[in-house]
Amino acid sequence: MADHEHIPHPTPRQYVQIAVLLAVLTAVEVGLFYLEEGVEQIGTSITAPALIVLAFIKFAIVVGYYMHIRYEKPLVSRFFATGFIAALVLYAAVILAMLFSSNIL
Amino acid sequence: MADIAHADAHHDEHESTGIDSRKLGMWVFLSSEFFFFGALISNYMLFKGRDFAYETIMPRELYDIPFTSISSFVLLMSSLTMVLAHNALAEGDQNRTRTWLLATAMLGMVFIGGQYFEFTEFILEGMTLTSNPAASAFFMLTGFHGGHVFLGIVMLLSLYGISRRNGQLSEAQGLNLELVGLYWHFVDIIWIVIFTIVYLIP
């Protein structure tokens, strides 16, 4: 049997600590939004990638700890990751279409 | 003996992967939902920065970031109450399970109420579903997400009602709570993406 089945689930106290972390990350995201609004020189070159990284961290925390994917069999992760990656490919295709065609529609 | 053999066969039928079929089914369903929301997000991205030949109000001009940040916080906290409901049931505390289920449903209602308020404000400002393609994409994306939240609230209240009526959630209903929890957290992670891509990134 895989080891992940023996990993103990977080305690209620740890769930609350995770929620506090998620709230702090959200506050940082909003702070970055206003930083970009206030300091135009920074532009989107720093804030957009930083916001995407922060969103991904929040996403991974919720999936890993609240959806308990860390404690599931690898098959579950594979199914879930397949959909997520496919959606990312779709999203990337749209971005590329936008970059290479200004009159796509 | 035949009963035991039948029970074993039944067990194998449901758990040949080692995972309950209903749970695996929910994970596959949630995985497919990435395609659904991926298409809607892509659609919004396609139109959000475009100039239109006619005068129109773009969604970005109307966003109220402090308000939406609070809505996002409320939905994040509903994920906490959901996982606490699941934890309480695992510990056999039925009263605490009901309390957290109700709290999750109420936080979901607050989020939906906020979305209703936001949509109303946008419409009063002159941006409707048909104002321009960006507005259509915005309402479609956030509206479908709101629809998912609404469905989650219905499922949460159903579980709460069953628990109140029977005095407890049985083992089978406990699995239902876990499945509803997975769905609820998924709705939360989709909002994490929407909040960043639609509201925060220019």
Average pLDDT of every residue of chain B:
89
Distance CA B46, CA A86 (A): 18
Q: What is the pLDDT of residue B139?
A: 96
ipTM confidence score: 0.86
Residues of A in contact with B182 (CB under 8 A): 67
Cα–Cα distance measured from residue A49 to residue B84, given in angstroms and rounded to the nearest whole number: 32
For B182, nearest residue in chain A (alpha carbons): A67
Residue of B47 and B10 predicted with greater confidence: B47
The first and second tokens of residue B101, run together, are: 């289920």
Phi, psi angles (nearest 5°) of residue B132: -165, 165
Is residue B23 a contact partner of residue B179, using CB atoms and an 8 Å limit? yes
> What's the pLDDT at A92?
86
Range A17-39 average pLDDT: 89
Tokens of B104: 């999750």
Chain B interface test: which of A14, A16, A26, A66 (most B C-beta within 10 Å)? A66
Q: Confidence band (pLDDT; 50, 70, 90) for B178? A: very high
Closest residue to A26, CB basis, from B45, B69, B182: B69
CA distance B114 to chain A (A): 18
Judged by CB atoms closer than 8 Å, whether chains meet at A62 and B188 is answered as yes
Banded pLDDT at A40 (limits 50, 70, 90)? low
Cβ-based contacts of B183 with chain A (< 8 Å): none
Instruction: Please give the pLDDT value at position B117.
Output: 96
Q: Nearest CB to B76: which of A26, A91, A97?
A: A26
Provide the CA B96 distance to its chain's centre, in angstroms.
22
What is the distance between the alpha carbons of residues B120 and A62, in angstroms, rounded to a whole number? 30
pLDDT band with cut points at 50, 70 and 90 for residue B158:
very high
The pTM for the full model equals: 0.88
What is the rounded distance in angstroms from the CA atom of residue B115 to the CA atom of residue B128?
A: 14
Contact A80 B80 (CB under 8 A): no
> Is the pLDDT reported for residue B179 higher than 70?
yes
Q: Residues of chain A with pLDDT > 90: what percent?
A: 40
Q: Which residues of A touch B24 (CB under 8 A)?
A: 75-76, 79
Confidence of residue B6 (pLDDT cuts 50, 70, 90): very low
CA nearest to A15, candidates B181, B114, B66, B113: B181
Which phi-psi region, left, alpha or beta, contains residue B66 (left: φ > 0; alpha: ψ -120 to 50)? alpha
Q: Do A80 and B76 touch (CB under 8 A)?
A: no
Any residues with CB less than 8 A from the CB of B182 and at least 6 apart, and which?
Answer: A67, B23, B26, B27, B30
- Closest residue in B to A44 (Cα) is B202
* Contact across the interface for B202 and A36, Cβ inside 8 Å: yes
Answer with the residue of higher pLDDT: B15 or B99: B99
φ, ψ for residue B163, nearest 5 deg:
-65, -40
